[in-house]
A and B are shown apart, each in its own frame.
Chain A
């Protein structure tokens, strides 16, 4: 379970302070599929960066399974991200010199998995997203949709407790977007906790819960049917 209390994030540029998050309180249960939605600049991505430990909040606290994340050192956060979190970025964020399989196997090797086992798990993960025929291809040889699926395979290969997705369909056509969302739904059905940032209403509605943000504050939490 994730508990967020009075979370703020203010960006400082010289003398100019820009508050982006202005006191967020939120609870996310294990196994939930949350869509964080809002207009551009509302603070939805910033919120996700705080929860996913990619950024430091200005104040407030985030507890993941009762663990205070603000007490962690940067090294502990990196380790925590490796062991318990998975990321899907808007622009896929695959490493260009690594094949699809190598991109997926990298976090597994970092986790200390034996080489053979890591490659088997990575191949399995890519199969799960329908890329079993593209294992050896470099990101530049894959389409946008395929790259995003490879990115999902990388994010789920090590069985993370929470999967974060930042605008995962923003750069994709409708068909690819639907495929990605179907993968998320399937993962959710298997019990995966998913926190997704999106500005696309139809995909937001596919989540279990929509958290609407505006001007750095939660304005609404809607449970989808």
Chain B
């Protein structure tokens, strides 16, 4: 049926039909294919990238590559100095930042006279005691300061507030979640920790896409340690940044092998991701595939219509070709090859746009979604799969109308009858 001669003639006809058809027709069809390709790759890529951006932000700003945290049945990591000594000796580790954490109550406007009916200006928060230099080396959070400045190692009685603790950044308020009003850098606030009140000055406000950052109060570790009375230097968590190309799983396993898991939870950034985030990534991937499938159907219908109109308007010539002895298969192959050409061209241009323009552009300037900096996730393997699907769908969409026209009575086609 599809003999070599049929392919030869199909190719002969397809090449000439493409080469000599209007440049505008070719441009239009290829543009449709490019848009379809982008719809297939970019829409799902952005949907997945929306969550991936959030995951990446948590890794960059909070967990880093590995997070050592307090076991669920403990209040801190025992033998923390020994744990930190192990980390200090590991050549694969670029840096680490130990954190002390403790729940506390914040109070502002406490020097003003309040009526009894007036609501007090308080909020609950988690205080993180950090070494500002170590923290910034590992998580780089100083660049998310939106007002004032970040902590310095000797900034006693000073704090940086997460933006969610302030009404002006997070206007929603409920009976269980309250925010501070009228607070800005320089404002004095009161921290109540273990029943003892401490007056501190707000040095800066930090605003990031990571909730763990936005809901925290940062202060210098040595001061918080004193306030907590933690004289054994036992920390609550340690975020570890690895050197480039070091496998976090290998480092995690080696830390576990050295017995750290007996006093703490040792997790890679991936282990530390909450399950709902993983579920969301899967859900968005399904959603992306669903939208892509619709795009694929729309593309198939578009190509079907384009080829059908092309074949209908060329029905007379299809009849003549059959009349002079050109086989129906050769004519069908010519349409299949034309569809293939349009799909390949659309995909190649689409790949160029995705990898040479969109991906670098969106990486450099992420899409500012409310809860993440959205990036474009388009792994090559997935893109090639989608490209293959597009090509297969396009070939079928081109073949079916061509076959419909080729199957018509030869004389009716030549005379354009019925």
Contact = CB atoms under 8 A, between A and B. Distances in A.
B249 interface: no
Nearest to B21: A97
Nearest to B328: A78
A68 to B, nearest CB: 19
A49 B411 CA distance: 8
A102 B328 CA distance: 19
B17 interface: yes
- Where chain B touches its partner, the secondary structure class is helix
B79 interface: no
Interface residues on B, range: 20 to 34
Contact of A82 (B12, B326, B409): B326
A81 B330 contact: no
Contacts of A49: 411
Interface stretch (A30-38, A87-95, A184-192): A87-95
Contact of A78 (B17, B19, B21, B322): B322
B5 interface: yes
B414 A54 contact: yes
A20 B327 CA distance: 29
Contacts of B9: 106, 109-110
Nearest to B409: A55
Contacts of A75: 327
B12 A109 contact: yes
Given A54-B410, A55-B411, A102-B16, A93 B320 contact: yes
Contacts of B17: 97
A138 B21 CA distance: 12
Nearest to B4: A112
Contacts of A138: 20
A41 interface: no
Contacts of B327: 75, 78-79, 110
Contacts of A55: 409, 411
A109 B410 contact: no
Contacts of B21: 97
A107 to B, nearest CB: 5
Nearest to B9: A110
B324 interface: yes
Contacts of A54: 323, 410-411, 414
A81 B414 contact: no
A83 interface: yes
> What band does the interface of chain A fall in when counting residues whose beta carbon is under 8 Å from B?
20 to 34
Contacts of A95: 317, 320-321
A139 B17 CA distance: 14
Given A82-B324, A87-B324, A154-B324, A97 B5 contact: no
A97 B13 CA distance: 9
Interface in A84-119: 85, 87, 89, 93, 95-98, 102, 106-107, 109-112
Contacts of B16: 97-98, 102
A93 B321 CA distance: 9
B8 interface: yes
Interface string A52-64: 0011000000000
A83 B325 CA distance: 8
A97 B409 CA distance: 23
A110 B320 contact: no
A110 B5 contact: yes
B323 A106 contact: no
B325 A107 contact: yes
Interface in B322-365: 322-328, 330
A96 B320 CA distance: 11
A81 to B, nearest CB: 4
B326 A110 contact: yes
Interface in B212-242: none
A144 to B, nearest CB: 17
A58 B325 CA distance: 23
Given A97-B16, A112-B5, 15 more contacts: A78-B325, A83-B325, A85-B325, A89-B414, A93-B316, A93-B320, A93-B414, A96-B20, A96-B317, A106-B326, A107-B325, A109-B5, A110-B326, A110-B330, A155-B324
Enumerate the 10 nearest inter-chain pairs by beta-carbon distance, A residue then B residue, closest first: A82-B325, A97-B20, A81-B325, A93-B320, A55-B411, A54-B411, A97-B16, A97-B17, A107-B324, A110-B9
Interface of B: 5, 8-9, 12-13, 16-17, 19-21, 316-317, 320-328, 330, 409-411, 414
